[in-house]
Amino acid sequence: MWAALGLAFGLAMDATAVAAARGLVRARRSEVIVLPLLFGGFQAGMATLGWVIGEHGGDYLAAWDHWVAFGLLLGIGIKMIVDSARRQESVPAGTGPLVYLGLALATSIDAAAAGLTLPLVPVAPWISIGLIGVVSLVCPAIGYLVGRAAGSRFGWRLELVGGLTLIVLAIKLLVEHL
């Protein structure tokens, strides 16, 4: 169960960092509800998609899943670090349904990669998926509220930490499977 919980928190960190960054720029107040719902739903949905693909792709994907997960997590982590560097320059945040869906999709791609490995987690995949969804809803909501409260003091640093967390997870995943 601890492995599933750790996976859920690891996957929620990028969404939490993005939500906190959105809170810092003080975009629409409704984002405190909309973003966590989208993040939790997309994270659980993409993990389910990865799990289903893994179940049907089976042996072929098992040989490559750690490389796919490594590449996706590393890429998103690097992107978050680059974005955090840009945030130092006070790039204004966009708003609207397409922006929200784009953020939810971008932060959930790693969940699809993690979904491929759900059979390796020592609990039923549906429990892992449920934890991923709930944690990815709660953590970004808290992150958004903390971001709004923190103001400009932490700013881009939260996204930097989220990106570094994903890179560490990518390396850990690769090392464990080699």
% of residues, the chain, pLDDT over 70: 74
Question: What are 73-110's pLDDT values in tens digits?
Answer: 677 667 767 766 776 555 445 567 887 888 888 888 87
Say if residue 31's pLDDT is above 60.
yes
Q: Confidence class of residue 44 from pLDDT cuts 50, 70 and 90?
A: very high
Q: Confidence class of residue 131 from pLDDT cuts 50, 70 and 90?
A: very high
Q: At what angle do helices 125-150 and 97-116 cross, to 10 degrees?
A: 140
12/9 Cα distance (integer angstroms): 5
Rounded to whole angstroms, what are the CA distances from 24 to 55, 66, 145, 157, 175? 40, 34, 9, 11, 35
Say if residue 141's pLDDT is above 60.
yes
User: Which pLDDT value is given to residue 157?
Assistant: 67
Contacts 24+ apart (CB under 8 A), 117-126: 117/54, 117/65, 117/66, 117/69, 117/173, 118/47, 118/50, 118/51, 118/54, 119/51, 119/54, 119/55, 121/3, 121/4, 121/7, 122/1, 122/3, 122/4, 123/1, 123/3, 123/4, 125/51
Question: Are the C-beta atoms of 75 and 163 separated by less than 8 Å?
Answer: no
Locus of tokens 């987690």: 121
Question: What are 109-118's pLDDT values in tens digits?
Answer: 878 878 877 8
134/126 Cα distance (integer angstroms): 12
- C-alpha 150 chain-centroid distance: 21
User: Which pLDDT value is given to residue 140?
Assistant: 93
pTM for the whole thing? 0.67
Average pLDDT score over the chain: 78
Q: Exposed, middle or buried: residue 65 (CB in 10 Å: 0-12, 13-18, 19+)?
A: buried
- C-alpha 128 chain-centroid distance: 15
